[in-house]
Amino acid sequence: MKEKSFKFRIIDALLIIGSVLPIAFAIVLRVLTNPEADGIVITGANIFFTVKMPIQDMPITESQVNSWCVIVSLFFICLYLTHGISEKGGLRRQMIAEWIVEKTDDLVKDNMGDFFKSFSPFIAGVLGLSAFSSLITLVGLYPPTSDLNVVAGWALLVFILITYYKLKGGVLGYLKSFTQPFAAFTPFNIISEFATPVSMSFRHYGNILSGSVIAALVAAGLTGVSNMILGRLPGLLGEFPLFRVGIPAVLSLYFDIFSGALQAFIFAMLTMLNISSAFPMDDWLKRMDKKRAKKEKQSNKKSA
């Protein structure tokens, strides 16, 4: 690999700055706007401002802003990973980029089959957005995934995709599938249809939120214990919550890193499985055959 040129290095540096800056901005915003809490306060996202909209006012909250920051950051990371990649390779980032692409391709192929090959960027998007949204708790930010609305939006998109692929097998077939195995099951089938996105969003949101809640409770509890035991010590020593040092980090390892990554993976897996199992391949192929036959007939008529 030949020496990187000065221009190349400058662009690299700008891209790295571009991927770090949004997170830094979110941290600054958090520091400036987060009200000091007394004791245990478990609330949702802070509302920056509210836009008047029909049906319901639209609050622009921390979860939205943090989501956007994550998106911008991921965008710059993408640019960084693909900057200067070439056919011959040689850059470490190219290996990472190719690894991401190949792994998601394999994952999608294994779980959804060849028909859904083009889904790998979407699955990578779900994985990336979900994982990074959860992982920004590591720098003290409010995780957007612990806001129900955010995850519900993703689940709604998945629900739309599921319904779209179900309708590919024909509208009649879709409606008929609700009466399986017999007509009395129709209400249950409708409920189960809507249960999919609801369960997906609640699972993800609940896991991340419970992590935050438990972390807050443990931190408060440890402060209490520390006050109780060390409170008799004179001066600053008594006020300092010594037990809060270190112990919450172990919990954070589980709730922030492991749970965040795992929930992202679970959400992506469920997305893949639900969409691919919703697609009635046989019916779709039959319909395609019928359409082709019709077209051929028409073209024959035209030529005749």
Q: Which residues bind another protein (CB under 8 A)?
A: 33-35, 42-47, 51, 53, 55-59, 61, 63-64, 67-68, 71, 74-75, 78-79, 81-82, 85-89, 94, 97-98, 100-101, 120-122, 124-126, 128-129, 144, 147-154, 156-157, 209
Q: To the nearest whole angstrom, how small is the minimum distance from the Cβ of residue 268 to another protein?
A: 12
Please list, residue by residue across 285-302, b when 16 or more beta carbons sit within 10 angstroms of its beta carbon and e when fewer do: eeeeeeeeeeeeeeeeee
Pick the closer one to another protein by CB: 125 or 241: 125
Closest to another protein by CB, 226 or 275: 275
Separation between Cα atoms, residue 77 and residue 278, nearest integer Å: 33
Please say which residue, 106 or 296, places its beta carbon nearer to another protein: 106
- Residue 102 or 289: which CB sits closer to another protein? 102
Burial class (CB in 10 A: 0-12, 13-18, 19+), 88: exposed
| C-beta separation of 126 from 154 below 8 A | yes
| Cβ-contact 142, 46 below 8 angstroms | yes
Q: How far is the CB of 287 from another protein (least distance, A)?
A: 27
Residue whose CB is less far from another protein, 14 or 101: 101
What's the burial of 130, exposed, middle or buried (CB within 10 Å: 0-12/13-18/19+)?
A: buried
The residue (of 132 and 243) whose beta carbon lies closer to another protein is: 132
Cα dihedral 90/91/95/97 (nearest 10): -140
Among residues 155, 139, 147, 124, the alpha carbon closest in space to that of 67 is found at: 147
At closest approach, how far in Å is the CB of 117 from another protein?
11
| Rg (alpha carbons) of the chain, rounded to whole number | 25
Smallest distance, another protein to C-beta of residue 285, A? 27
* Smallest distance, another protein to C-beta of residue 32, A: 10
CB of 294 to another protein, least distance (A): 33
